[in-house]
């Protein structure tokens, strides 16, 4: 039970950390809105064809590689803060990865269907095996769930690289001063911790149920 509780606790801590960092850095002003910063970063890299749309939700920001569109929450899209420009340019970093066929991103995108299947069907079989006592079902579910772990592992360099691109662009293109970079880093590092926590959670889950299936 303690083994299962650890990744859940880590996930809660990670979510609280990113929410706190975003709130703090939302109070630190920037000279541009999130939209303006992302637009400038994309245009400077020759990606004027990549659109930017405002969406609802909080911290719902993402890049859609199929539509070639950045979707930014209103708080990020309209916000004049270090948090807003950091998050917006992080998503622009994903667009740059996509345009340059960044290897880990290509692999991640290819892994999405398998990860979704492993998460849904794999966990379903694991739960069914636990309730029925059929360790064979648990092991089949564990095998399918390895796709989730693989996705999480390949996703880490994708997210770290997007953040690094954002931080460089913001300073190199004069959107923030060099001494302001730590403010942006605080938000992006906190966000990165959520991906690390998610990966740990997946690994611990996989190991826990694999050991459970082998108890007999």
Who has greater pLDDT, 5 or 85? Answer: 85
From the candidates 36, 45, 75, 91, which is the catalytic residue? 91
Q: What is the mean pLDDT of residues 131-140?
A: 90
Element containing residue 8 per DSSP (H, E): helix 2-26
**pLDDT, tens digit, 9 for 90 and up, residues 162-177:** 999 999 999 999 999 9
Q: What is the mean pLDDT of residues 136-161?
A: 94
Task: Out of 112-116, 122-126, 137-141, 212-216, pick the least confident.
Answer: 212-216
- The residue ranges of DSSP E strands in the chain, in sequence order, are 51-55, 62-64, 69-73
Task: Out of 107-111, 126-130, 210-214, pick the least confident.
Answer: 210-214
Distance separating alpha carbons of residues 151 and 168, to the nearest angstrom:
26
CB contact at 8 A, 147 and 114:
yes
Share of residues in the chain with pLDDT > 70 (%): 96
pLDDT above 90 for 186: yes
Q: What is the mean pLDDT of residues 116-132?
A: 91
Q: What are phi and psi of 52, to 5 degrees?
A: -130, 125
Q: Give the global pTM.
A: 0.89
91 noted as active-site residue? yes
Q: Which residues contact 88 (CB under 8 A, 6 or more apart)?
A: 34, 35, 37, 38, 61, 70, 72, 76, 77
**pLDDT, tens digit, 9 for 90 and up, residues 3-12:** 556 667 877 8
Separation of CA 110 from chain center:
16
Q: Residue 146: is it exposed, middle or buried by C-beta count within 10 angstroms (0-12/13-18/19+)?
A: middle
Predicted pLDDT at 216: 56
């Amino acid at each position: 039970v303690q083994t299962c509780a650890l990744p859940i606790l880590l996930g809660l801590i990670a979510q609280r950390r990113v929410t706190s960092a975003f709130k703090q850095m939302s109070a630190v002003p920037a000279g541009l809105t999130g939209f303006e910063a992302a637009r400038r970063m994309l245009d400077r890299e020759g990606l004027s064809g990549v659109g930017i749309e405002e969406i609802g939700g909080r911290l719902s920001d993402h890049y859609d590689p199929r539509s070639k569109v950045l979707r930014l929450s209103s708080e990020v899209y309209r916000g004049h803060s270090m948090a807003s420009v950091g998050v917006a340019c992080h998503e622009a970093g994903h667009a740059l990865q996509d345009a340059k066929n960044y290897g880990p991103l290509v692999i991640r995108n290819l892994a999405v269907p398998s990860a979704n299947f492993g998460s849904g069907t794999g966990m379903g079989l694991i739960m069914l095996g636990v309730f029925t006592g059929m360790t064979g079902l648990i092991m089949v579910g564990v095998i399918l769930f390895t796709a989730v772990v693989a996705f999480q592992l390949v996703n880490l360099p994708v997210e770290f690289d997007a953040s690094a691109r954002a931080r460089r662009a913001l300073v190199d293109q004069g959107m923030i001063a060099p001494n302001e970079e730590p403010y942006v880093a605080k938000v992006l590092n906190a966000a990165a911790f959520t991906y690390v926590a998610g990966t740990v959670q997946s690994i611990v889950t996989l190991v826990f149920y694999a050991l459970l299936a082998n108890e007999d």
